Amino acid sequence: MKNRTIKIGMLGLGTVGGGTLQILQKNGREIERKLGVGLEVKRIAVRDTGKKRPVAVDQELLTTKIDHVVCDPEIDIVVELMGGVGAARQAIIRALENGKFVVTANKDLMAQNGAELLAIAKNQGKNIFYEASVGGGIPLIRPLKHCLAANRIKKIIGIINGTTNYILTKMSLEGMEFAEALAEAQARGFAEADPASDVEGRDAAYKLNIMATLAFSALISMDDICTEGITEVKLRDIRYARELGYSVKLLAVAEEKEDGLVLRVHPALIPLSHPLASVENEFNAVFLQGDAVGEVMFFGRGAGALPTGSAVCADIMDAARIIKEEIENGIMETDFTKKEVIPPHRQVSRFYLRLKAKDEPGVFAKLATAFGDARVSLDMIIQKRSDAETAEIVLVTHNVEEGRFRQAVETLSAMPVISSINSILRVAD
Ligand code: HSE
C-alpha cells in the first residue's frame, strides 16, 4: 500500500460513536505509532447535523446521507454505530459491495444476520469486525475466534448486560426500586435507546447468540434462546435470596451437551461465594470453559462510551493493519451448522419459588405431597412472615427438569390452600 492515511467513515455518532471519536482524537498518535499508518475520520453520517454533542467534531465531516459514507471511494473502513437492523444491514451490505472493511457494535444485527453478512464479506474478500457487539470493552470475540480456537468450548456462563446488572445491584445494595435504578442506568449511558431490550433480556440474548455461534460453530436463531428478563424480579425476592446466601443476577448460559445445545437468558439466584455474585453495577463477566484450557474468566465494563469505543477502535486498527499490509482478510467464522437445541421443558435446573398460602395446619404437608407426586425433590422450605390468615412460603428445589417443576406448580395453583404463586426464579450452582 502506498504510504497514505487510512480513511474511516462512520455511521452514527451517539454514545458509542462519541466514545470512539474521543479515543481516536486522544490516542491518535499512539494508534498511528502502533499501526505505522495514520487514521483519519473522513465523514460521519448522522440523523441531525445540528445536534449538540459531548465530543468535539468538525461540522464539515457531518452528513445526513449514508451513501456519502458507504459510496465514498476514498473511505477504506466503514464503522457502523447507528444501531437497528434494517437500515444498518443495508448500509453494511453496500459498504462491503463497495470494497470497504466493516466494523460494527451492532449486536441485534450480528445476532440475527451475522452469518449472512460474514458470508458476503468473505465473498468480497473483506471482513466484518464486531468485538464491540458483546461485552463492551471486554475482549470476548477475539478470544473465541483466535486464542481459544483449538478448544472444544463446553460452556459459556456470564453477566452480559450492564443495564440490568446495574439495576439489580442498586436494588440489592441500596433497596432502590426498579424504575429509579433504570433511570440512573439510562442517565449513565448504559441502556439501549429502547431499554425494553435490556430489561426483557433481549440484549443479553443477542450477545449470547453471537458468542454461542462462534463457540459452537452453530447457526442459532433468536427463537432457540429461552429468554426472560428482570421485569418480574421483586426487591422482596432479592432480600430473601440474600438471606438464603444468594445474589440475583441476569445470567446468560450456553452449553453444548451430548443431546444438544442449552441456550438461555434469565434472572437466577447465584451463591454469594460464586465469582459472578460479586460482579456489580455495569460490570460484565463471562466464564468460558474449554476442553483444553479449562475455565477462563473475562471481566470488565460491558457498556458505556469509552469501554465500547475501546473495542471499536481495536477493530478499526485490525482492519487498518490488513489494509496496510495488503494481507488476506483472515475471515474464518463462516462455517456454521444447525444443531439440536434442548427445549426449555427438558432443561434441568434448581428453582426458587415464593408463594402465599392459608396459614393453617397441614399446608406444608400438602405442598410436600404436590412436589413429591411430581417427583420434585425439595432442598429448602421456609415459612416467612405471616399475617392473620396468610403465610408466605419460600422454597428451593433440587435439580429437576423444568417441565416437571412447572407441572408441580400447576397442581399447587389449583389447590384451595394456595392463595398465589408470586415468584419463580432459577437457582444456578
Ligand atoms: N445496553 C447494553 C448493556 C449496552 O446494558 O449492556 C452494551 O451492549
Same domain flag for 120 and 155: no
- Res 330: pLDDT: 65
Percent of the chain at pLDDT exceeding 90: 82
Q: Which atom of ligand 1 is closest in space to residue 303's alpha carbon?
A: 7
- CB-neighbour burial class of residue 363 (10 A; exposed 0-12, middle 13-18, buried 19+): middle
Query: What mean pLDDT do residues 135-154 have?
Result: 94
228 CA → ligand 1 middle, Å = 16
Query: What mean pLDDT do residues 404-426 have?
Result: 93
406 CA → ligand 1 middle, Å = 31
In a domain, 152, yes or no: yes
In a domain, 332, yes or no: no
425 CA → ligand 1 middle, Å = 23
Same domain flag for 256 and 200: yes
- Res 189: pLDDT: 79
- Res 309: pLDDT: 97
Residue 304 has pLDDT above 90, yes or no: no
CA distance 54 to 331: 35
Task: Quick: pLDDT tens for 351-398.
Answer: 999 999 988 888 888 888 899 998 999 999 888 767 768 889 999 999
Task: Quick: pLDDT tens for 70-124.
Answer: 999 999 999 999 999 999 999 999 999 999 999 999 999 999 999 999 999 999 9
Place of cell 435446573: 349
Please state, rounded to an integer, the average pLDDT across all residues of the chain. 93
- Count, residues in the chain: 429
CA distance 231 to 226: 16
Q: Which atom of ligand 1 is closest in space to residue 197's alpha carbon?
A: 1
Q: Which atom of ligand 1 is closest in space to residue 134's alpha carbon?
A: 8
Residue 187 has pLDDT above 70, yes or no: yes
Number of domains in the chain: 3
CATH number of the domain where residue 405 is located:
3.30.70.260
Over the chain, what HEC string results? CCCCCEEEEEECCCHHHHHHHHHHHHCHHHHHHHHCCCEEEEEEECCCCCCCCCCCCCHHHEECCCHHHHCCCCCCEEEECCCCCHHHHHHHHHHHHCCCEEEECCHHHHHHHHHHHHHHHHHCCCCEECHHHCCCCCCCHHHHHHHCCCCCEEEEEEECCHHHHHHHHHHHHHCCCHHHHHHHHHHCCCCCCCCHHHHCCHHHHHHHHHHHHHHHCEECCHHHCEECCCCCCCHHHHHHHHHCCEEEEEEEEEEEECCEEEEEEEEEEEECCCHHHHCCCCEEEEEEEECCCEEEEEEEECCCHHHHHHHHHHHHHHHHHHHHHCCCCCCCCCCCEECCECCHHHCEEEEEEEEEEECCCCHHHHHHHHHHHCCCCEEEEEEEEECCCEEEEEEEECCEEHHHHHHHHHHHHCCCCEEEEEEEEEECC
Same domain flag for 129 and 175: no
- Res 384: pLDDT: 79
CA distance 379 to 297: 29
Least confident interval from 59-63, 186-190, 396-400: 186-190
Residue 333 has pLDDT above 80, yes or no: no
Query: What mean pLDDT do residues 384-413 have?
Result: 89
Residue 1 has pLDDT above 70, yes or no: no
Task: Quick: pLDDT tens for 7-27.
Answer: 999 999 999 999 999 999 999
In a domain, 183, yes or no: yes
- Res 2: pLDDT: 54
Same domain flag for 153 and 297: yes
- Res 389: pLDDT: 80
Pick from 198, 210, 286 the residue to mutate for probing ligand 1's pocket: most ligand atoms within 8 Å of its CB. Answer: 198
Same domain flag for 97 and 200: no
User: Does the annotation mark 42 as catalytic?
Assistant: no
pTM comes to 0.94
Same domain flag for 409 and 291: no
323 CA → ligand 1 middle, Å = 30
Residue 300 has pLDDT above 60, yes or no: yes
**Total Cβ atoms within 10 A of residue 270:** 24
**What does the longest C-alpha to C-alpha distance in the chain come to?**
86
- Which residues' Cβ are closer than 6 Å to ligand 1? 136, 161-163, 190-192, 198, 203, 302-303
Residue nearest to atom 7 of ligand 1 (CA): 303
In a domain, 336, yes or no: no
In a domain, 1, yes or no: no
Choose the catalytic residue: 7, 100, 126, 207.
Answer: 207
Query: What mean pLDDT do residues 47-63 have?
Result: 93
CATH number of the domain where residue 270 is located:
3.30.360.10
Of the candidates 242, 266, 301, which is a domain's last residue? Answer: 301
In a domain, 333, yes or no: no
Pick from 104, 110, 163, 165 the residue to mutate for probing ligand 1's pocket: most ligand atoms within 8 Å of its CB. Answer: 163
Q: Which atom of ligand 1 is closest in space to residue 195's alpha carbon?
A: 1
Same domain flag for 147 and 284: yes
243 CA → ligand 1 middle, Å = 29
In a domain, 331, yes or no: no
- Res 351: pLDDT: 97
Same domain flag for 60 and 168: no
Same domain flag for 317 and 365: no
Residue type, 61: L
- Res 364: pLDDT: 85
- Res 279: pLDDT: 97
In a domain, 19, yes or no: yes
Same domain flag for 154 and 277: yes
Residue nearest to atom 1 of ligand 1 (CA): 191
Q: Which atom of ligand 1 is closest in space to residue 308's alpha carbon?
A: 7
171 CA → ligand 1 middle, Å = 18
Percent of the chain at pLDDT exceeding 70: 97
Domain extent at residue 310: 6-137+305-325
Same domain flag for 130 and 49: yes
Task: Quick: pLDDT tens for 201-225.
Answer: 999 999 999 999 999 999 999 999 9
126 CA → ligand 1 middle, Å = 28
Residue 329 has pLDDT above 90, yes or no: no
Same domain flag for 74 and 170: no
Pick from 169, 203, 283 the residue to mutate for probing ligand 1's pocket: most ligand atoms within 8 Å of its CB. Answer: 203
Task: Quick: pLDDT tens for 156-181.
Answer: 999 999 999 999 999 999 999 888 99
Rounded to whole angstroms, what are the CA distances from 24 to 31, 34, 185?
8, 13, 26
What confidence tier does 263 reach under pLDDT thresholds 50, 70, 90?
A: very high
Q: Which atom of ligand 1 is closest in space to residue 166's alpha carbon?
A: 5
